[in-house]
Structure 1
Amino acid sequence: MLNKSQTQDLSALLPGQSTEQGATRRTALKAALGVGYAAAALPVMAQTAIKTPTDGLLAGEVMIDVNGYAMPAYRAAPAGKTGLPVVLVLSEIFGVHEYIADTARRFARAGYLAIAPELFVRQGDAQSYGEMAKLIAEVISKVPDAQVLADLDATVKWAAANGGDTSKLGVTGFCWGGRQTWLYAAHNPAVKAGVAWYGRLVGQTSELNPKHPVDVAAKLHGPVLGLYGAADTGIPLDTVDKMKSALSVGSAAGKASTFVVYPDAPHAFHADYRPSFRKEAAEDGWKQALAWFKQHGVA
């Protein structure tokens, strides 16, 4: 978890509402709030190197009902089309900022209904934090995995009612979202395939995090492609080896899972708004992800 950006203020949106104008106002607000470490270390508001246009897309924020709680999410899809394959896009610890929204639009350009839910807004507002350690301690560390899995189940239900074909369900995520990608592929039997970008594989268990990817490797419902960097100092390659071993004795989906490790890539090599971005690895990983989904029926 080595990157920093800010979540979107969606409090003014009503259930089902989608607006690009609201996103523009929020962008201006968040730019004004960029302070401290966040402003000094990274481009304001995670402005991406890749700019995916919205023409021909239905794109913007929506609200998803989770047992009475209105969870904000960013949705992107080809306009006027239904029966679309669905990809859940799981963010880094900083929520659904412009980079994550743009990634959803990239999937929409490839023919998907892509949905990026805000999975830890109950615990706090990431945009109010300028220090990584405080954000992790005060927000992220308090997010129960069970809450995330339930929120994702609700997102899938929303997708089915809003133009998605959830018999073609994929999940992908980055860093924090990469770890959740593995967990969700073991949780939901409807998942056809997952793509995990440099998500942590092992760790100490707790009441909120009772299992890690290595613990559920034998129970995957859909095969997962792991995209990792050999120069990632936070995810040692020996943990990738442990995951490979766990996958090899599990379900058919686990045995079908695989890794691509980019020799010189650091953590967050796909994050095109950060110095960690590695264009060659990011572009190859994207091609691998699309091919993986197509190979396993998410297309």
Structure 2
Amino acid sequence: MPTQIPDDPSRRRFVTALAAAGFAAAVRPVGAETIVTPSSGLTAGMVHIPSAGVEVPAYRAMPQGRRNAPLILVVQEIFGVHEHIRDICRRLAQLGYCAIAPELYFRQGDVSTISDIPRIISEVVSRVPDAQVMADLDATLAWAGAQDIADTQRVGITGFCWGGRIVWLYCAHNPQLKAGVAWYGKLEGPSSELTPKHPLDLAAQLRVPVLGLYGGADAGIPVTSVERMREAIATAHGASELVVYPDTPHAFNADYRPSYRPAAAADGWKRMRAWFDAHGLPV
């Protein structure tokens, strides 16, 4: 199960320094509240998934000896599949899921070495086509089925920030899913050749229920945007739900950053587990 770093200054410095090696340069130093989940009892590590003629790197964590666990696709933040996303996979695996986080823009560049967030966005993230992401997630499902490492009839998806938006898109794309949980994912914005549709545009096309978790003080996703999405899904797809945490910033689940809000993060995690349980993904 996830464990909190003890509030001991010397140990905190040691564990934070150790963990920082797995985080993107743009988010160092890592915060003292960073959660470290052990891999004991798990099969965890990097794998490679064939997709459109390339091998997509991915982090996979699953209970040792279990091959029929529900599968959860974990979609990265803008910082890639760094240590926090890998830890999310281990948390899910410790609960009994098989969790896989593919590196969804490794073709466009390696964000782990870039220390400037605007550069990450302009040089890498903004160049990622939604179509590529959908295809790589499809390939991840196909790979998991071919490897017989999880029950691919019971699949969910969760994602954070950049990945939260992708959750909404993928739940409109693939009816094979049972449910999705989107953490503070962007809901609307200008269209482009690479990002032609946003979640609000696709509300009527959702094929599976989505739980959206948002901060009421998110500077990048105003509550008005969330309320527009709430109205759209109520009209088009009543099975989805939105939760807004008052006075809570963006990235409130990112326990390695100053934006972390333990109460909202814990409540969101509890709601995510209940959402998956209620929609055909009990462990």
Cross-structure match for 2:261: 278
8 Å contact kept, 1:47–1:99 = no
Q: TM-score, normalised by structure 1?
A: 0.85
1:152 partner SS: helix
8 Å contact kept, 2:82–2:112 = no
> Pairwise CA RMSD of aligned residues?
2.0
Give 1:74-153 correspondences, 5 Å limit. 74-153=59-138
Which one-letter code corresponds to 1:237 in the other structure? V
Cross-structure match for 2:199: 213
Cross-structure match for 1:289: 272
Relative to structure 1, the CA distance from residue 293 to residue 71 in structure 2 (aligned partners, 3 Å threshold; closer, same or farther) is same
2:153 partner SS: strand
Q: Could you tell me how far 1:269 is from its partner in structure 2?
A: 0.3
Query: 1: distance between equivalents of 2:20 and 2:36?
Result: 19
Q: Could you tell me how far 1:268 is from its partner in structure 2?
A: 0.3
Match among 25, 28, 47 for residue 42 of structure 1? 28
Query: 2: distance between equivalents of 1:230 and 1:191?
Result: 28
Relative to structure 1, the CA distance from residue 262 to residue 28 in structure 2 (aligned partners, 3 Å threshold; closer, same or farther) is closer
8 Å contact kept, 2:145–2:151 = yes
Cross-structure match for 1:160: 145
Cross-structure match for 1:257: 240
Q: TM-score, normalised by structure 2?
A: 0.89
Cross-structure match for 2:182: 196
Cross-structure match for 1:8: none
Q: Deviations over 1:186-226 (max 9, x none)?
A: 00010110000000000000110000000111111110000
Relative to structure 1, the CA distance from residue 43 to residue 207 in structure 2 (aligned partners, 3 Å threshold; closer, same or farther) is same
Q: Could you tell me how far 1:32 is from its partner in structure 2?
A: 10
Query: 1: distance between equivalents of 2:179 and 2:243?
Result: 15
8 Å contact kept, 2:23–2:83 = no
Relative to structure 1, the CA distance from residue 102 to residue 256 in structure 2 (aligned partners, 3 Å threshold; closer, same or farther) is same
Q: Deviations over 1:260-297 (max 9, x none)?
A: 11112100000000010000000010000000001001
8 Å contact kept, 1:229–1:266 = yes
Which one-letter code corresponds to 2:197 in the other structure? K
1:196 partner SS: strand
Match among 194, 205, 218 for residue 232 of structure 1? 218
Which one-letter code corresponds to 1:122 in the other structure? R
8 Å contact kept, 1:171–1:193 = yes
**Count of residues in Structure 1 that have an aligned counterpart in Structure 2:** 265
2:43 partner SS: strand
Give 1:63-74 correspondences, 5 Å limit. 63-74=48-59
Contiguous gaps of at least 5 residues in structure 2: 1-16
Relative to structure 1, the CA distance from residue 34 to residue 86 in structure 2 (aligned partners, 3 Å threshold; closer, same or farther) is closer
Query: 2: distance between equivalents of 1:219 and 1:241?
Result: 18
Q: Deviations over 1:67-98 (max 9, x none)?
A: 32000000000001111100000010110111
Contiguous gaps of at least 5 residues in structure 1: 1-26
8 Å contact kept, 2:23–2:82 = no
Q: Could you tell me how far 1:28 is from its partner in structure 2?
A: 7.7
Q: Deviations over 1:112-170 (max 9, x none)?
A: 01000100010011022111111111110000000000000001111112311111110
Moved over 4 A (4+): 27-30, 32-35
Relative to structure 1, the CA distance from residue 118 to residue 236 in structure 2 (aligned partners, 3 Å threshold; closer, same or farther) is same
8 Å contact kept, 1:47–1:98 = no
Query: 2: distance between equivalents of 1:106 and 1:33?
Result: 17
Which one-letter code corresponds to 1:189 in the other structure? P
Which one-letter code corresponds to 1:73 in the other structure? A
